[in-house]
Amino acid sequence: MNIREEDIYNFIIGRTPILVNRILLRNFRKEKLDITMEQWSLLDLLWKKDGCTQHELGARTFREKASITRLLDKLEQQNIVIRVPDRRDRRVRFVYLTAKGKSIEETATRVVRETYKHAIAGIPEEQVLICKRVLNQVFENLAEEGDHWTACETA
Amino acid sequence: MNIREEDIYNFIIGRTPILVNRILLRNFRKEKLDITMEQWSLLDLLWKKDGCTQHELGARTFREKASITRLLDKLEQQNIVIRVPDRRDRRVRFVYLTAKGKSIEETATRVVRETYKHAIAGIPEEQVLICKRVLNQVFENLAEEGDHWTACETA
DNA sequence: AATTTGTAGTTGCACAGGAAACTAATTATG
DNA sequence: CATAATTAGTTTCCTGTGCAACTACAAATT
């Protein structure tokens, strides 16, 4: 294959993710939602399964535990989630949505869905699927190479 | 199309770019290169065209000018680039590679190329091309919607 | 049972991005 | 020509990430 080094930038971690993140943040602000894309990615898990552990949130969003700690700090400051220690294992803290956390699900989900629709407008569905599969394969290829998240943890 | 909100995270700005960035940073460190992925993206432009303006670097990597300022601060501290004011327009500063900046091209490019090869190993070339096109189309779709970078500037 | 090893989460440091306010210089306008 | 609008770049504030050191606790080892 004709390898061009700059592809890895333009292609995977470059301007497209930067722009998507920027637009999504602006769209949240338009709807008076004071959350970030990263915070949303945790909330999205909690809306589906309230009471995850921090470890679980990290494994599923592929973030370092330190990042999870800090994202939850912000969410807790805004009274969107609370951390509840596990009585059986006092190292563990379960993360629960507050009433406020539950109440923003509908609006936030709508913003994300509309932004996503806009992002993929006019692109044939099968191409979007291929793109997703390629990115997932890239993930698998690199995850083998020594990261502490194993495939089974993230699955 | 069957829209799943979480796709926008998993798919475009989620774990794959995070992992690619992480692995690339580690691979730079293994080769004793003290640069980041973001710094590399600027150097890659300079190796092809020395003496870009900061505005140009921002337009081509799709970063805010403030980000460019800070990335160049770091590169200048490491004696990898220097900023030279334009005599004709004293607002403008041209960015030039130093001898050190030129000397790391080969190693840095090799690291990026090998990481990229590893990332796309086993994925049919035509699928990688489709993936790139999809991400570029996503970029175009969202760029229309009110960003100050116009298509012509980034082209 | 006491020590070692492993795990969940936190904190400090360095680096990166977005937005907005700001400076200095240039170009457009009246 | 003088003022207004624009442009290039910097700075500040807030948020997010990686890594490493750290705390607290649990589980395994001897």
Question: Nearest-CA neighbor of B24 among B109, B136, B139, B132?
Answer: B109
Give me the CA A54–C1' D10 separation in Å, rounded.
39
Domain spanning A6-122: which CATH class is it, in words?
mainly alpha
- Asked which of A29-38, B9-18, B78-87 is least confident by mean pLDDT, the reply is B9-18
Domain locations in chain B as residue ranges:
6-119
pLDDT digits 0-9 by tens, B36-59: 999 999 999 999 999 999 999 999
Residue B151 above 90 pLDDT? Answer: no
* Pairwise CB contact (< 8 Å): B41 & A14: yes
Per-residue pLDDT of chain A (155 residues; tens, 9 = 90+): 555 666 666 666 677 887 888 888 888 888 888 999 899 999 999 999 999 999 999 999 889 999 999 999 999 999 999 999 999 999 999 999 999 999 999 999 999 888 888 888 999 999 998 988 888 888 888 887 655 444 333 33
Q: Which residues, listed in sequence order, are joined to residue B17 by a DSSP beta bridge?
A: none
When the candidates are 3.40.50.11540, 1.20.1250.20, 1.10.10.10, 1.20.58.760, the CATH number that belongs to B6-119 is: 1.10.10.10
Chain B nearest-CA distance from A67, in A, is 12
Residue A23: per-residue pLDDT: 85
Residue B152: per-residue pLDDT: 37
Chain A nearest-CA distance from B128, in A, is 7
Which of A17, A113, A141 is closest, CB to CB, to B121?
A141
Tokens of A124: 């044939």
Residue B78: per-residue pLDDT: 94
Give me the CA B25–C1' D21 separation in Å, rounded.
21
Per CB-CB distance under 8 Å, the chain B contacts of A5 are 44, 109, 112-113, 116
Question: Nearest-CA neighbor of B63 among A152, A114, A60, A17?
Answer: A17
Strand D nucleotides, any atom under 7 Å from protein beta carbons: they are 7-12, 15-21, 24-27
Chain B nearest-CA distance from A87, in A, is 32
Please check whether residue A36 is in contact with residue B140, taking contact to mean a CB–CB distance below 8 angstroms: no
Q: How many CB pairs under 8 A join A and B?
A: 179
Residue B65: per-residue pLDDT: 95
Chain A nearest-CA distance from B20, in A, is 7
Please check whether residue B125 is in contact with residue A1, taking contact to mean a CB–CB distance below 8 angstroms: yes
Q: Residue B30: is it exposed, middle or buried by C-beta count within 10 angstroms (0-12/13-18/19+)?
A: exposed
pLDDT digits 0-9 by tens, B92-149: 999 999 999 999 999 999 998 888 888 889 999 999 989 888 888 888 888 876 555 5
In the block, tokens 């796709």 appear at B7
Strand C nucleotides, any atom under 7 Å from protein beta carbons: they are 6-12, 15-21, 24-27
Which of B21, B120, B137 is closest, CB to CB, to A13?
B21
Element (H, E) at B53: strand B52-53
For an interface test with B, which of A3, A16, A106 has the most B Cβ atoms less than 10 Å from its Cβ? A16
* Pairwise CB contact (< 8 Å): B119 & A12: yes
CA distances from A116 to A14, B13, B67, B144 (A): 18, 12, 26, 14
Burial B108-124 (b: 16+ CB within 10 A, else e): bbebbeebbeebbeebe
Residue A90: per-residue pLDDT: 93
Residue A126: per-residue pLDDT: 92
Residue A5: per-residue pLDDT: 60
* Angle, CA of B98, B102 and B103, to the nearest 5°: 115
Task: Enumerate residues near strand D (beta carbon within 7 A).
Answer: A 36, 38-39, 63-64, 66-67, 70-71, 74, 88-91; B 18, 21-22, 25-26, 53-55, 58, 65-66, 68-70, 72-73, 83, 89, 91-93
Give me the CA B97–C1' D6 separation in Å, rounded.
30
Instruction: Assign B102 to helix, strand or coil.
Output: helix
Q: How far apart are CA A120 and CA B30, in angstroms?
A: 38
* Pairwise CB contact (< 8 Å): A15 & B123: no
Backbone angles phi, psi at A97, to 5 degrees: -75, 145
